[in-house]
DNA sequence: AAATATTTTTAGACTAATCTAAAAATATAT
DNA sequence: ATATATTTTTAGATTAGTCTAAAAATATTT
């Protein structure tokens, strides 16, 4: 039996290690989980005992194949529920994360497979993140961050790094959504702000915005 | 903050007291919750401190208005999710209970109100049980148990007492569902079995079946 | 290479929910 | 009314997850 808390730690480690590869520090996990390093040490010992993680004292932690499987499955559930909330229950993209954080822990294979079918097997969630299929496979989307885009080129908005309500509402109020076409007009060296052209307007976005918006060249 | 465990106890007390009226014993709760009496004592003390229950030592427990409100809200969520699972995700009525047992604890008013609307405000769940509305109101359905039905009369099947998978599958295999028309043919005094007529068949059901099937005279 | 700073782990304590075993209260039978 | 049985409560442990404070290991400066 795997507990809800273990699942959340495994998911955090997975995200911090960019897909289960590189080792993750205790402090990084503590800050991601909003807890203390001592709690993390206890938990990674447990995950290691249960064979979800490999861990050597003071050397950080990586997920085992079992651990990665668990992580990807929770991410699959999280993202499918997010699609459900937006597509069927009139949630906006800035409202779904918190609820999905809980729904992702409901344990029923039939539930999630039927939900997947009901939603017609979506491949991306409302934030542009790919949804793993039943076997855990998903394609890594080709994307760059706005901060690295080149002046003069046109891009399509395909995702966000920060999924906080604040950031998503900022995008809403500036008429930026997934699929929006953006042309980079000017990069200001002084503060790294960027002037971009949308369909009917030109706006200047700050460096923090530019680092959190994912684009694909078109 | 109310915990998942507290919610489950409150729901159990509500069901055992037939809608929060009469007092409920420690042992009854223990057996409903599949736990020990000593654990129940601890929990009802806590519920009492949090003002969800009234409790005097050795005298059993009743729910406060707050406790009843919590119970009805969980029941509303449980039954709405059951409808969702059957109507949208191809679950059968014997598969929904376990999953709904978990989904009922997801805390989001928007989620449940939008789900209610998405399902077009259903008034009964897949087992014939009424679904409380947002304010907690629901009508008590007029119904009798098959064991008390009169020979010669015709009834409509409107609910079940036992919602176990075993019983529901038994009904499926005998072509009895909500809405099925049943005519009582004979009551056997020897073992209290009952011969009933369905649309195209006559079957004999045992006393245990007769005590768990709810009917409405037509 | 030693001193200092940072990170990580340990030790010990706390809360929620559970358990077993024993004590206390209540109910039932003689 | 007394003895017996049943129910309920208490006392003391246990487990999961968390915390603070101190110790140990590792990393960074000088
Ligand atoms: Mn979560
Ligand atoms: Mn998402
Ligand atoms: Mn439950
Ligand atoms: Mn039901």
Joined together, the tokens standing for residue A115 give 């939900």
Cα–Cα distance, B118 to A88 (Å, whole number): 7
Which residues from B are below 8 Å from A when comparing CB atoms? 85, 88-91, 95, 98-99, 102-103, 106-108, 110-111, 114-115, 118
Domain assignments of chain A as residue spans, ordered by start: 4-63, 144-217
Dihedrals φ, ψ of B188, to 5°?
A: -90, 115
Superfamily of domain B144-217: Ferrous iron transport protein A (FeoA) (2.30.30.90)
Token pair 């998503």 is at which residue? A168
Q: How confident is the model at residue B20 (pLDDT cuts 50, 70, 90)?
A: low
User: A interface mutation test: which of B89, B105, B119 has the most A CBs within 10 A?
Assistant: B89
Pick out residues whose CB falls under 7 Å from strand C.
A 25-28, 37-38, 40-42, 44-45, 55, 57-60; B 3-6, 35-36, 38-39, 42-43, 46, 57-58
What would the DSSP string read from start to end of A82-105?
Answer: HHHHHHHH---TTTHHHHHHHHTT
Which of the nucleotides lies closest to B38 (Cα–C1')? Answer: D9
Contact A51, A62 (CB under 8 A): no
Which of the nucleotides lies closest to A60 (Cα–C1')? Answer: C8
Sequence-distant (6+) residues with CB within 8 A of B157 are B128, B176, B177, B178, B179, B180, B181, B182, B213, B214, B215
Return the closest-CA partner of residue A96 out of A170, A168, A3, A19.
Answer: A168
Which residues from A are below 8 Å from B when comparing CB atoms? 85, 88-91, 95, 98-99, 102-103, 106-108, 110-111, 114-115, 118
Within this chain, domains B4-63 and B144-217 share the same CATH topology: no
* Number of Cβ atoms within 10 Å of the Cβ of B56: 10
Joined together, the tokens standing for residue B218 give 């037509």
Joined together, the tokens standing for residue A198 give 């949308």
Cα–Cα distance, B157 to B166 (Å, whole number): 18
CATH code, A4-63: 1.10.10.10
pLDDT in tens, chain A (218 residues): 999 999 999 999 999 998 767 899 999 999 999 999 999 999 999 999 999 999 999 999 999 999 999 999 999 999 999 999 999 999 999 999 999 999 999 999 999 999 999 999 999 999 999 999 999 999 888 899 999 999 999 999 999 999 999 999 999 999 999 999 999 999 999 999 999 999 989 999 999 999 999 999 99
The structure's pTM equals 0.94
Q: pLDDT tens digit string along A166-211? A: 999 999 999 999 999 999 999 999 999 999 999 989 999 999 999 9
Q: How confident is the model at residue B21 (pLDDT cuts 50, 70, 90)?
A: confident
Chain A contact set for B111 (CB, 8 A): 85, 89, 99
What DSSP state is assigned to residue B95? T
Q: Which nucleotides of D are covered by protein (CB under 7 A)?
A: 7-12, 16-22, 25-26
């Amino acid at each position: 039996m795997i507990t809800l808390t273990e699942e959340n730690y495994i998911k955090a480690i997975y995200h911090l290690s960019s897909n289960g590869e590189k080792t993750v520090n205790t402090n990084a996990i503590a800050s991601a989980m909003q807890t203390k390093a001592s709690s993390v040490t206890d938990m990674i010992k447990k995950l290691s005992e249960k064979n979800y993680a490999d861990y050597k004292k003071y050397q950080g932690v990586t997920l085992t194949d079992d651990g990665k499987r668990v992580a990807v499955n929770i991410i699959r559930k999280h993202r499918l529920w997010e699609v459900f909330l937006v597509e069927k229950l009139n949630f906006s993209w800035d409202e779904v994360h918190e609820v999905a954080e809980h729904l992702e822990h409901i344990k029923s294979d039939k539930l999630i497979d039927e939900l997947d079918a009901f939603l017609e097997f979506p491949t991306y969630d409302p934030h542009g993140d790919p949804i793993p299929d039943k076997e855990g496979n998903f394609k890594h989307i080709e994307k760059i961050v706005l901060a690295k885009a080149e002046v003069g080129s046109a891009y399509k908005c395909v995702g966000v790094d920060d999924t906080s309500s604040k950031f998503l509402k900022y995008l809403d109020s500036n008429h930026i959504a997934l699929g929006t076409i953006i042309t980079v007009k000017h990069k200001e060296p002084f503060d790294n702000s960027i002037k971009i052209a949308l369909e009917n307007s030109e706006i200047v976005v700050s460096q923090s915005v530019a680092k959190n918006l994912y684009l694909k060249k078109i």
